[in-house]
Amino acid sequence: MLPAAKLKQFFSQFKPLTFKAQDPIIRASDTPAGIYFVKSGFVKMNSSFADGRQVTLNIFKPGSYFPMLWAVADIPNVYSYTAMTDVSAARMGRDQLLDFLDKNPDILMDFTRRILVGLHGLITNIEHLLSGDSYHRVIAALILCAKRFGQNRGKKIVIDLPLTHQDIADLAAITRETASLAMGKLTRKGLISRAGRNIIILDPVKLSAESGIEALSTPLPPAF
């Protein structure tokens, strides 16, 4: 059995939990109640600045699990995990997971790979945040989301994740007002539009050129 299928089977024995959009799943500095496996929906991992601003460090999609820093490395949790959409998840105790990983080295390898891929994504995001002004940070956030959650529709890319201006602001580590100004500018330039709550990249080539970072056609590592 493939690692992903074996892991899904393992998590299926635990009672599913449901969360509404914006529900807190783990609060910053709380000791987690266990490890969560996302069955459906999206969960954001945030860190807070002293001035109250939030930065989104990662977004977990179906098939992801968290908080792995606490689970595997025993690092105290300092991040908040919040449902971005309605979420269904399974939860188990850390000891149960560690025992399962100890008995299934192939799953442990998959976990390690996912952690390293997540670290790569975090480093990439930090590089983009440090590389430009708020306008270019917003573009970097959109490009990352397009790579992770994008669906090709002809020459366009639909980001299959409901994103508010506040979500974009948190990804770019700026205020919502500043993010709204940048989004308005991109809309006026004909680079993005909206279909309901989904953002559409109208011209991926021009958006990449506008950002000065790697092209949207450059793939991310698997499972990121």
The predicted pLDDT at position 221 comes to: 41
The predicted pLDDT at position 65 comes to: 87
The predicted pLDDT at position 216 comes to: 52
The predicted pLDDT at position 215 comes to: 53
Beta-strand runs (E) in 122-220 = 150-153, 156-159, 192-195, 198-201
Residue 188: partners with Cβ closer than 8 Å, 6 or more residues away: none
The predicted pLDDT at position 222 comes to: 42
Q: Using CB atoms within 10 Å of the CB of residue 130, give its burial: 0 to 12 exposed, 13 to 18 middle, 19+ buried.
A: exposed
pLDDT < 50 regions, the chain: 219-224
How far is CA 167 from each of CA 12, 17, 43, rounded to the nearest angstrom?
31, 24, 12
User: Which residue ranges form the domains of the chain, and what is each CATH number?
Assistant: 3-128 (2.60.120.10), 134-211 (1.10.10.10)
Question: How many whole angstroms separate alpha carbon 14 and alpha carbon 167?
Answer: 31
The predicted pLDDT at position 121 comes to: 73
Enter the pTM of the model: 0.86
The predicted pLDDT at position 223 comes to: 44
